[in-house]
Structure 1
Amino acid sequence: MSKTTEQYLETDIIIVGAGMAGCLQALAIAKKSPTIEIILIDNNPEQLQKGAHPGFDARSIALSAGSCQLLEQLGLWSAIAQSAQPIDDIHISDRHRLGIVDLEPPQSGQPFGYVVELQNVGMALQQQLALYPQIKRFYNSALINTTKQVDHIVCELSGDRSTQQYIKTKLCIAADGANSHTNQLLSIHSTQSDYGCSAVIANISVNKTHQNRAYERFTEAGPLALLPLSDNRYSLVWSIKNSDLNALLELDEQGFLDKLQQAFGFRAGIFMKAGRRDSYPLKLSKADRPITHRGVAIGNAAHCLHPVMGQGFNLGMRDLSVLAGVIAQLDDIKQLGEFSMLDRYWLARQRDHNTTITMTDSIVRIFSNNDWPLVLGRTIALQAISLFPSLGTPIVKQAKGQFNLFISENKKS
C-alpha cells in the first residue's frame, strides 16, 4: 500500500480556477504587482498544446469596449484583435410587436465591443502567463478544504494519490465559475433564481453579410441573440424553455435551422449552416457579499447572469481589474487579504454589481412576460427609444462597459 506524502508550501495568493477569469486575474495581479507570488489551481491535466485548455473551447463571448481596453492594458488585445469581430450596431426587436430599436455607438465611431472565440483568447493568454515566473500552476488539483487563521488561510489540495498539499496563503480567490465549490469552503453565500430556460449555443452561417451588426430578438421563451463572427458567421445564444430543449437539440441540422428561422425571422438573411450545438441552464446566481475572511469571489463565482446583453463576462472583467488595482495600492504585503483591503474592493464594486445584475434580470423578466400591460409598456418604450435615441443612452453606456471602476457606493456618479 502506497504511503501518502504531505507537502507544505506558502504563497501570497491562491487563485482557484484556471479558466478565463482565473487566468486573467493571475495576469492582472502579476503585471501590477510583480513581487507577489501566485499559485493557480487547475483541475485539468496539463495540455501538450498551448491554448488547448478546456476552459478555452470553441465558444464565443462578446467583449464590451471597456473590456477591450482592460485587455489592452494586460498586453493581450493586439493578439486577440486579429480575429475579433466588431459590433458596430445592435438591432433590438420584440417578436410579433411593433417595438424595434437600432442602437448605434456615439459619433466617435468606436464599436460597442467585439466578439471573440475563446480558443483564440486562450492562446494569447497562455503565452502571456508563461512570461511571469511568479505564477505557478498546479494541474490535476482541486481545493478540498480551508482552515482560516487570523493572518492567513491554509488551503488543502487534492492532487495525485501519493501527495497531499497544504498551502498557506494570505488571500484565496474563487474563480471556479458558477456553483463554486470554493465559495462553499470560504463561506461565501449565494442566492439563485431559476429562469426555467436553457441557452442553446452554436455558430451559424447565413446567406447575407452581417455588416458587424448584432441582433437581440425577444421571443416567448426569452432573448435570441446573434453576434457577428469572422467569415460571415454568427454566434447564436438562444433562450429555450426547458420543456422544449431536448426536442430542439435532437433535430437534424436542417430541422434546427428551420426552427431558428421561424423564431427569428429573416432580418439577418437565410440560415444556411449550424455548427455543434451545446446548451446550459439559465439561472441568476449572485453572492450576497463576495468577500469573506481572506477570501473573495470574482467572475461567475460571484455572479452568474442571464446572457441577455452579454453583461456577465464583462462584469467579471471589471471585478478582476479592480481587485488587481486594490492589491497594487497596498503599502505593505502584510495588508494583502486583510478586511480593510477586501472591504475597499467591495466598496468599489458594489454599485456596478447591483446595477448590472438588476438591469439584466429586469430585461429578462419584462420581455419574457406576455401580460398585456407589460407588452404594451415595452412596445411603447422601444418605440420611444427609436424616435428619441437619447433615451437609449443608459443602455448604450452599459453595453460599452466604460465606467469609472473606483466609484464606491457612498459616492455619486
Structure 2
Amino acid sequence: MARYYTNNNFFRQMPNALLARYFQTHRLFGDLDFSAMKEGKPDALFEAWRTLSEAQRNGMDAEFRDIFDMSCEKGFRAMIDEAEFQMDEDEFTIWVEKLSGLPSHFDRAMLVYLDHNACWKGATRFYHADTLSYWRKRKNLPQKKAETDDDSIQELAGRIRTYFHHTEGRGNNCVVEPFRRGELEYFFAYPEDYSQQSSEWVNGEFAHRPHNPAFEVIFVYSGKEGSLDLYFRGSYKAIEPLQSMFATAILKLDKLPPDPKDARIYDLAPLLQKSFDFAPAVGSGIENVVVKKLRLSSREKKGDRITLEADTSENQDAVYILLDQIRGSLPLNMYNVTQVELAASVVVDADKPAKQVTFRITYPNSCSLKYDELDLKLRDMLEASGIEPKEPKEEVGAVEALVRAEA
C-alpha cells in the first residue's frame, strides 16, 4: 500500500519527545509542553506549526518528507548498510541493537537523523535506489577495484557533462557522489537538466518560476562479480556510452569490454500446470504464491496472443479454471507462455498482516522485481522453483581446455 505524506500524519506518527528534540535544533516552540500532549494527538503542535511563516515551514517540511520516507523496513535496511560502512564493528553492533529495540521505524528514522546524521545522506540515496525499476546490467567487466578518488569522480562527472551537452544540449553541470554498500560501489550522478517552469506559491503569491532541475544516472558496480548495473531514464542510445564512461573513469579501462549476449531464458511452460509448486526458502516469510495472469503467444502467427486473467481472491486456481474452459476449443500445444503475473503473500513484520507483492515475468528474461531485500527473496524463490534463469554453462575453447588439462 502506498504511503502518503502530510505533516499532520507525520506529527501523529512521531513520538512527542522526538518532535521536541527536532524543534529544539531549530530553536522553535520552546514554550510548548510536548510532554503534556497526548501521543498521536499533538493538537497544540498543529496550531503552533500553522503560525510559522512559509519560509520557516518549507525547509522543515522537506526534511519531514525524507524522514517519513525512511520510516519503513526498507529505509531501516538502508540506514544499517550505511552505518556499517561509517562505524567500527563494536560501535555498529551496539547501534543496531539500540535501534532494533525501538518501537517503530518512525523512532528509528528520527533518531538516525538527529544523532547519526553522517549516515543520513548515504542511507537516503540507498533507499531511493532500492525503489527504482528499469536497471540495465552489464557483465563481462574485470573484477577490479573501483577508483573513488576525487580525480576519478571528477573525470566521470566531466564525461557525463560533456556527453549530454554535446548530444542533447543539457548537462551543463554535473556532480557525482560515491557511496559504498557492502561489496557494492554506488555512484549517483546528477547532470543539469533542461530549464523548466514550475507553478509555485511564494509568500501567498502564485507564479510560474523557471528553475534548473537535475536528472539522475546511477551506477552500481560489483567488483566481485565484474558487473555494472545502470539506472537511467532516457534515450536507449545513451546506455552504452554511460557504461563506457564508467569503465574509463572509474575502472581505468582503455575501452568497454564486449557485452556477451545474454542467453538466459525463463522457463514459463511449467506454469501451465495447476499442480506446479513454488519453493520458497524456509524463513523467507513467503507464505503463498498465486498465478493471476497468463499470456499465451502463438507459435504459428507472430503477434497473436491470448491473455487469461482472473480474480484469485476467493479461488487461487481461478486462472486455471479459465484455462480448462478453453482447452477444448484451442490447441494449447500451438502456444507458448510468454508472460505470467504472480501475487506473493510475504510476512515482513510478524506483528502485521502479510504483504501482497505482485510482479511479472516476461519471456525471454525480463522480470519486474527489483533488487531490494524483499524482492531478492522472491528471486531466490523463483530460482529454487526452477523458473529464474541461470547463467549458461561455460564454453571452453579447445586451446584453453588443453591448457587447463596440463596445469
Greater fraction of residues in strand? 1
TM-score under structure 1 length normalisation: 0.26
Greater fraction of residues in helix? 2
Q: Which has the higher contact order (CA 8 A, sep 6+)?
A: 1
Bigger-Rg structure (1/2): 2
